[in-house]
Amino acid sequence: MIPTLPRSNGVRVGFVAYVMLFFAYLAAPLVIVGLFAFNDSRFPALPWNGFTWDWFFASGPERTGVFHDRAVLRSIATSAWVAGFVTFFSVLFATLNAFLFERHQFPGKNLLYICMLLPLVIPGVILGISILVFASGIANRADALLNLELDFLRPGLVLVVLGQFAFLTTIATLIISARLRKFDRSLEEAALNLGATPVVAIFTITLPYLRPALVGAALVCFLMSFENFNTTLMLVGSDAPLTITLFSRLREGATPLLNAVSLLLMLGSSLLALVSIAFQRKT
């Protein structure tokens, strides 16, 4: 089944049809979610009652659009804050990790590398509960022994940031290491020969070289943090990020408002994707 080999037309048509069917399967739920954001009905379901912008701009009380729904807007802001912190710390730690694993030799390196990969195979729910148990344990002991109230270790945004940071750092490390591996070290040596200190050489030569990977890793982290559900669900307190708000709305009974939020989310992530593609192409 490669182009250079003869094969019957039936097989060829069948194969193409299968691939088209596959892409229809991939696209179906996304297209449907987007379409029903404009349905003039109280439910995201058939029948189609005509086109409306209500689920974006209506100000209530009958219908409330996304841009007038306080709770949704607040949770979007919460998600953005969380994602910002997670992205910053993940990329920072990942950069250091990349240098550690690509440039340094030390005893136990393989073991540490395997540990570094572990978050990829730990289900998000488990990661969430283990951090929850650990943090609460520390908070309880601090309370009992030292009479200290460590509120940030109770379910809340700090734990959400930590939980997402825990696994996104691994992903960012893999992205940044891959680029650092391709770096030609003679460039750095040239800088050293010309009188730069090691720190200056890294900041003027190596980091600019890594920039596409750093930006790519940051975008991936931001997006995955914004959209994370499993780990967040276990660690969330009273301030709900967007996915948690959407989930509880979904359980109460969905309205096309959810479709409108989803559509905005999709537009947002495609924008990020375009930015990342444009950036990769430029460099």
Q: By rule CB under 8 A, what count of residues binds another protein?
A: 86
Contact flags string 197-216 toward another protein, x per CB under 8 A: -x------------------
Query: Contact between 96 and another protein (CB under 8 A)?
Result: yes
Write out the binding residues for another protein, residues 135-194 only, by CB under 8 A: 135, 137, 144, 162-163, 165-166, 169, 174
Distance, CA of 178 to chain centre? 19
Q: Which is nearer to another protein, 247 or 279 (CB)?
A: 247
Count of positions (residues) in the chain: 283
Residue with smaller CB distance to another protein, 64 or 79: 79
Which CB sits closer to another protein, 19 or 148? Answer: 19
Question: For the chain, how long is the longest CA-to-CA vector?
Answer: 79
Give least dist CB 53 to another protein, A: 19
Closest CA to 102 of 169, 179, 166, 167: 179
Give me the least distance between CB of 242 and another protein, in Å please: 9
Phi-psi region of 147 (alpha: psi -120 to 50; beta: other; left: phi over 0): left
Only one of the segments 53-61, 68-76, 119-127, 146-154 lies at the binding site for another protein (rule: CB under 8 A); that segment is 119-127
Cβ neighbours, 10 Å, residue 114: 9
The CA angle 34-74-124, to the nearest 5 degrees, is 70
User: In the complex, what is the shortest distance from the CB of residue 43 to another protein, in angstroms, rounded to a whole number?
Assistant: 7
**Spatial CB neighbours of 14, under 8 Å, sequence gap ≥ 6:** none
Part of the chain binding another protein (CB under 8 A), chosen from 52-60, 80-88, 210-218, 263-271: 263-271
Q: Which of 8, 9, 10, 25 binds another protein (CB under 8 A)?
A: 25
**3-state per-residue secondary structure call for 126-173:** HHHHHHHHHHHHHHHHHHHHHCCCCHHHCCCHHHHHHHHHHHHHHHHH
Under rule CB under 8 A, residue 72 binds another protein: no
